[in-house]
Amino acid sequence: MKKMIIGIHGLANKPPRDTLAEWWNLAIREGLEGNCAMSDPEFEFRMVYWADLFYKSPLHDDAMFFFDKLFNEEPYVPAEPGMLQTHNDSRMDELLASARGVVGDAIDFLKENINFDVLTGPLLGKVVRDLAFYYDNDREVFNRQSVKMIAQQVLKDELKETILAEKDKEIMLISHSMGTIISYDVLRDVGQEAPDVAVPYFVTIGSPLGLPLVKGKIIDQRKYDPRVRTPTIVTKSWMNFADRKDPVSADTHLRDDYRGNKHNVRVIDDLVRNTYQRPKDGKRNQHKSYGYLRCPEVSTHIKKFLEA
């Protein structure tokens, strides 16, 4: 069976589709070669892209217009020698994970027993603009057929159509940032609507899925099953990779947040070191997708998928 990697980006503006797809592909291959000595791995790659539906103009990398607000200061660039570094788990990592789990459990209990809409509404708008956008039932955009629809549904349809179109291949779904929330929702939807479809490998990088307000929204929207769990169509593994300094994945460990599915697949957390640096000034961005995609731990997992 052919191997297919599907990439899902977040909600911030992006370079054009072909550019972003090429950069994700290059970052994955750079990691496989640099970390796993795989010089020319065979797999198909497909980018699920929706930035053109939500932004009038894409980002560009024309250095003559570096002052333009659409100039992309964080393009894909190969890592400097020695920058692909494995994260060595420490006792501090374990303690922080445990502390976040206790706090998360307390907030989840309150969410299930108290009406938190008054709190989550303003919080979504102030803390994470993208979450507010995604969960806004009054936000409408045009889909690819020029039909005006709720923005969340347009996003979900883009990914759902891609999964169904590639269902005859062995899929690894790699999602980043807000894309992990959209992916989670779509995988559960497809599991309900097309139970024969399988997405064996689910990978989340830089994910906000551990935030209590996100879990609260999942509970609100899925009243038929008020618990959060691994989507049923994920049949082999769900790996969650996070850098402890990534502000978006504030809860780096999802295992205590999402129970297993009927295939006994439960999320496995792995801390990584995202060493992406902006080419202009060398400033680190521990949330950048390219940095995650070439982390040694991510590369090792993709290698196992390709060789399985």
Task: Classify residue 267 as exposed, middle or buried by CB count within 10 Å of its CB (0-12, 13-18, 19+).
Answer: buried
**Strand ranges of the sheet holding 3-8, from the earlier edge strand across to the other edge:** 44-48, 3-8, 170-176, 201-205, 237-242, 268-271
Which tens digit of pLDDT belongs to each residue from 28-69? Answer: 999 999 999 998 899 999 999 999 999 999 999 999 999 999
Mean pLDDT of 192-204: 95
What's the start-to-end Cα distance of the chain, in Å? 11
Residue-range domains of the chain with CATH: 3-307 (3.40.50.1820)
Mean pLDDT of 234-240: 98
Which tens digit of pLDDT belongs to each residue from 262-285? Answer: 999 999 999 999 999 999 999 999
**Helix axis angle, 296-307 relative to 17-36, nearest 10°?**
90
Query: What region, left, alpha or beta, does residue 46 occupy, with left being phi > 0 and alpha being psi -120 to 50 degrees?
Result: beta
Which tokens sit at 77?
């660039």
Which tokens sit at 166?
């590639």
The mean pLDDT value of the chain amounts to 87
- 93 pLDDT higher than 50: yes
SS3 content of the chain, % helix, strand, coil (to 5): 40, 15, 45
pLDDT at 90: 58
pLDDT at 120: 42
Sorting pLDDT into bands at 50, 70 and 90, what band is 222? Answer: confident
Sorting pLDDT into bands at 50, 70 and 90, what band is 98? Answer: low
Residue 205 in contact with residue 292, Cβ under 8 Å? yes
Instruction: Give CA 11 to chain center in angstroms.
Output: 10
pLDDT at 303: 98
pLDDT at 253: 92
Which tokens sit at 117?
């809409």
Query: What region, left, alpha or beta, does residue 264 occupy, with left being phi > 0 and alpha being psi -120 to 50 degrees?
Result: left
**Helix axis angle, 91-113 relative to 212-221, nearest 10°?**
40
pLDDT at 94: 55
- 71 pLDDT higher than 90: yes
**Helix axis angle, 117-127 relative to 212-221, nearest 10°?**
130
Sorting pLDDT into bands at 50, 70 and 90, what band is 106? Answer: very low
What span, in angstroms and rounded, lies between the C-alpha atoms of 58 and 144? 17
Checking DSSP bridges between strand 201-205 and strand 140-142, what pairing results, if any? Answer: unpaired
Q: Provide, rounded to the nearest whole percent, the portion of the chain with pLDDT above 70.
A: 86
Closest CA to 290 of 30, 1, 105: 30
Residue with tokens 């020695």: 82
Which tens digit of pLDDT belongs to each residue from 116-161? Answer: 343 344 433 334 678 888 999 999 999 999 999 999 999 999 999 9
